[in-house]
């Protein structure tokens, strides 16, 4: 009798440990803004499939998360099955042979529901390396109560924004001495490239001319936009502190009621309007980013994708997880509870989603026209050159813009040459 029980217990233990071993998935993601929501959606997957997902949470910044994920892939880490990939990573991860192509799992017709820009960003040399999770684009958040009080409509040009910010900050000084006009992401990291690209493109500037392999950092229209940020924004309507801000810090200032305008991504809507997190809940609205005279508003394409490591030994299981996470059902939860902008167009037509996020009706049009960062395998190196240039250029009142741009253009030319020599 005792022996029988022992044998049964031993068998059960072996079965559980085997099942555990084969049903475990390793997933690396960056630090989320709403961790409780992630626990919930990953929890649903675990309950419904019996698979246990071991999550490794990396740093929040895209630049730092990139360092973590690429390190693992360089080491062919077997404890990495699925990872989140920024919208700029696919060409690099595909060319390096780190990400698995997903074409065999994800048929052509299934792509129709996604924004074409997001699918394009995941495609390299005709193959698909990521499934868009959410798409994103830069937006202008503003305090509708303050704009109304001073009789302003939301600004359409950068000059108007600066003037409105100045007037409001001066008018509110007594009641709110900490109030600044503008908050955004100006630390030296990937977010800086996104923000600066919006200034540059909205002045009819140009990014890398990839086809003709020309660097364009020093173009007069580009430098004019950079000069505006240096002379009119940093240390003026924005504190010098913004030079150290990523998304969380810039948002924090805004939800404390210490900024009139904020440039951020769609997720900031839910947090700024949540009375448990924000002192300005109900007082916030969004609009498209301003432009310079003769230019057009430009919103940088952002967003995150699910990707599968080429070194994963559990590709089918990894796909089951990716399919679940990018399904309309999960995109709906993220849209409703975190105002994350779905990468699937159909979710924008869902009445429950629209009820919770009335601003999504406008967003869908913004997301049809977002502007991508250059798609190139050596993008991180290109971005690092831009990050250094922009940060130096806007950090000092008398920074030698032309000289700095010339140096940066030289570095980009060298990079493009390297890329060409490597046949990329």
Q: For the chain, how many residues are written?
A: 424
Look at residues 406, 354, 88 and name the one whose alpha carbon lies nearest to residue 216. 406
3-state SS assignment for residue 147: helix
The residue among 138 and 218 lying less far from ligand GLC, judged by its C-beta, is 138
List of residues contacting ligand GLC (CB under 6 A) = 62, 86-87, 136, 190-191, 194, 247, 265, 302-304
The residue among 136 and 309 lying less far from ligand GLC, judged by its C-beta, is 136
- Minimum separation from the CB atom of position 184 to ligand GLC (A): 11
One DSSP character per residue, 79-112 reads T-SEEEEETT-HHHHHHTT-BPP-TTTS-GGGGG
- Minimum separation from the CB atom of position 303 to ligand GLC (A): 5
The residue among 136 and 312 lying less far from ligand GLC, judged by its C-beta, is 136
Whether the CB-CB separation of 199 and 226 falls below 8 Å is answered with yes
Question: Which contiguous run of DSSP H or E holds residue 254?
Answer: helix 247-255
The residue among 136 and 278 lying less far from ligand GLC, judged by its C-beta, is 136
The greatest distance separating any two alpha carbons of the chain, rounded to the nearest whole angstrom, comes to 88
The residue among 136 and 215 lying less far from ligand GLC, judged by its C-beta, is 136
- Minimum separation from the CB atom of position 304 to ligand GLC (A): 6
β 127-128/123-124 pair status: antiparallel
- Minimum separation from the CB atom of position 27 to ligand GLC (A): 18
The residue among 139 and 226 lying less far from ligand GLC, judged by its C-beta, is 139
Whether the CB-CB separation of 181 and 238 falls below 8 Å is answered with yes
- Minimum separation from the CB atom of position 87 to ligand GLC (A): 5
Q: What are the residues whose beta carbons fall under 8 Å from the beta carbon of 229, sequence distance 6 or more?
A: 196, 199, 394
- Minimum separation from the CB atom of position 21 to ligand GLC (A): 34
Roughly how many angstroms between the first and final C-alpha of the chain, as a whole number?
69
Q: What are phi and psi of 83, to 5 degrees?
A: -145, 160
């Amino acid at each position: 009798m005792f022996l029988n029980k022992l044998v049964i217990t031993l068998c059960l233990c072996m079965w559980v440990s085997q099942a555990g071993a084969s049903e475990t998935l390793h997933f690396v993601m960056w630090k989320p803004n709403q961790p409780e929501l992630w626990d919930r959606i990953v929890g649903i997957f675990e309950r419904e499939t019996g698979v246990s997902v071991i999550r490794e949470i990396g740093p929040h910044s895209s630049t730092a998360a990139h360092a973590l994920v690429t390190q693992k892939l360089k080491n062919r880490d077997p404890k990495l099955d699925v990872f989140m990939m920024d919208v700029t990573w696919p060409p690099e991860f595909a060319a390096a042979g780190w990400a698995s192509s997903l074409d065999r799992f994800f048929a052509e017709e299934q792509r129709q529901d996604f924004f074409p820009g997001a699918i394009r960003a995941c495609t390299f040399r005709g193959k698909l390396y990521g499934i868009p999770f959410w798409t994103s684009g830069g937006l202008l958040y503003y305090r509708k109560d303050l704009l109304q009080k001073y009789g302003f409509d939301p600004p359409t040009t950068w000059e108007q924004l600066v003037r409105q910010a100045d007037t409001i900050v001066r008018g509110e000084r007594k009641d709110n001495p900490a109030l600044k006009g503008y908050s955004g992401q100006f630390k030296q990291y990937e977010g800086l490239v996104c923000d600066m690209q919006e200034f540059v493109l909205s002045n009819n500037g140009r990014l890398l001319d990839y086809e003709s392999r020309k660097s364009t950092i020093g173009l007069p229209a580009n430098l004019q936009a950079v000069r505006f940020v240096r002379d009119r924004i940093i240390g003026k309507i924005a504190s010098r502190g913004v030079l150290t801000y990523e998304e969380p810090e810039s948002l924090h200032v805004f939800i404390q009621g210490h900024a009139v305008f904020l440039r951020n991504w769609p997720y900031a809507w839910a947090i700024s309007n949540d009375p448990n997190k924000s002192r300005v809940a109900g007082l916030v609205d969004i609009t498209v980013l301003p432009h310079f005279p003769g230019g057009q508003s430009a919103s940088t394409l952002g967003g995150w994708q699910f990707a599968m490591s080429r070194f994963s030994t559990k590709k089918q299981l990894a796909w089951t997880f990716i399919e679940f996470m990018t399904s309309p059902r999960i995109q709906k939860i993220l849209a409703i509870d975190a105002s994350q902008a779905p990468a699937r167009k159909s979710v924008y037509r869902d009445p429950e989603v629209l009820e919770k996020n009335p601003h999504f009706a406008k967003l869908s049009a913004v997301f049809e026209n977002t502007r991508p960062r250059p798609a190139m395998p050596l993008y991180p190196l290109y971005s690092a050159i831009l990050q250094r240039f922009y940060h130096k250029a806007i950090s000092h009142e008398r920074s030698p813009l032309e000289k700095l741009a010339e140096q940066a253009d030289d570095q980009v030319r060298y990079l493009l040459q390297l890329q060409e020599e490597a046949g990329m």
